[in-house]
Amino acid sequence: MATIQSLLDSADLPDSPSARLDAELLLAAVLGKSRSYLRTWPEREPSTEQQAAFATALQRRRSGEPVAYILGQQGFWSLDLEVAPHTLIPRPDTELLVEAALQLLPATPLRALDLGTGTGAIALALASERPGWRVTGVDRIDDAVALAERNRQRLQLANAAFRASHWFAALAGERFGLIVSNPPYIAADDRHLGEGDVRFEPLSALVAGADGLDDIRLIVEQAPDYLDAAGWLLLEHGYDQAEAVRALLLARGFSAVESRHDLGGHQRISLGQWPA
């Protein structure tokens, strides 16, 4: 019978940049244990059924399927979130939006909006850190709205809510002190669409026209109609789009416009304040 150690040592994931981590995550999930359990009990022998399930998970990973989709979950901020193939996988760089929002705005009561919420990651992170805020997340995909709501219920965050809306379409007459978004920002012909995990993620959540800025243009143009005086707009964008996004914000009349760097040193988010 194979042991935990031998299963991990023989796991073959040649195309993964994080092969050992992937194997540990998949085996831990099959066993219903933590990764620390694997290191504490390497001599334990998983059952035949568990070994078969691990082999199936490894094969899915070899085909390129993201670990998060295989597991059905992904960590973001301090939260564990359910994920599914109709939503983007939350990524650490997007936490920069949460950090910036918490820095810019106090804990006093506020209405916040997360456009294109997907799993609800940004909205739920903000709601978890700011109990006095009322956070709304919208998405045009009904399955995404349902997924975000399941995450909200499991995390018991009563100050968050999710509903269907294509950007601002269902929000007439509403105002927010903060609008955040990680919208599609990849150009239609970008070669990266055929590489890595993004091959399995929904194109509608990735691609935004010839230069990747179509959705950001729309959000920047329409956001002032939904912002309170002195409200903030925060946008994630591509590593090489900061200058263009700042120009859009300035041209629309935003002030205090700036960009901030992600973990890799790229200018990954841009923000601006609507005049009081």
- Break the chain into its structural domains and give their ranges: 4-63, 74-273
Question: What is the pLDDT, as a whole number, of residue 209?
Answer: 60
DSSP H or E run through 232: strand 227-236
- Domain spanning 74-273 has what CATH number? 3.40.50.150
Rg of the chain on CA atoms, in Å? 20
What per-residue confidence (pLDDT) applies to 168?
97
Q: Which amino acid is at 54?
A: F
Distance CA 43, CA 24 (A): 15
**Angle between helix 214-222 and 242-252 (nearest 10):** 30
| Sign, CA torsion 266/120/180/160 | negative
Question: How many C-beta atoms surround the C-beta of residue 184 within 10 A?
Answer: 20
Cα separation values, 254 from 29, 99, 110, 174, Å: 46, 20, 20, 19
Residue ranges in the chain modelled with pLDDT below 70: 185-210
Instruction: Enter the tokens of residue 121.
Output: 């990651």
DSSP letters of 36-87?
A: HHHHH-TT----HHHHHHHHHHHHHHHTT--HHHHHTEEEETTEEEE--TTS
pLDDT score for 262: 87
pLDDT at res. 208 = 53
* pLDDT per position as a tens digit, 166-199: 999 999 999 999 999 999 766 555 555 445 555 5
Task: With beta carbons less than 8 A apart as the criterion, state whether 37 and 31 touch.
Answer: yes
| Helix extents (H) in the chain | 4-10, 19-31, 35-40, 48-62, 67-71, 95-104, 121-129, 142-155, 214-222, 242-252
Are 5 and 42 spatial neighbours (Cβ–Cβ below 8 Å)? yes
Which element (helix H / strand E) includes 227? strand 227-236
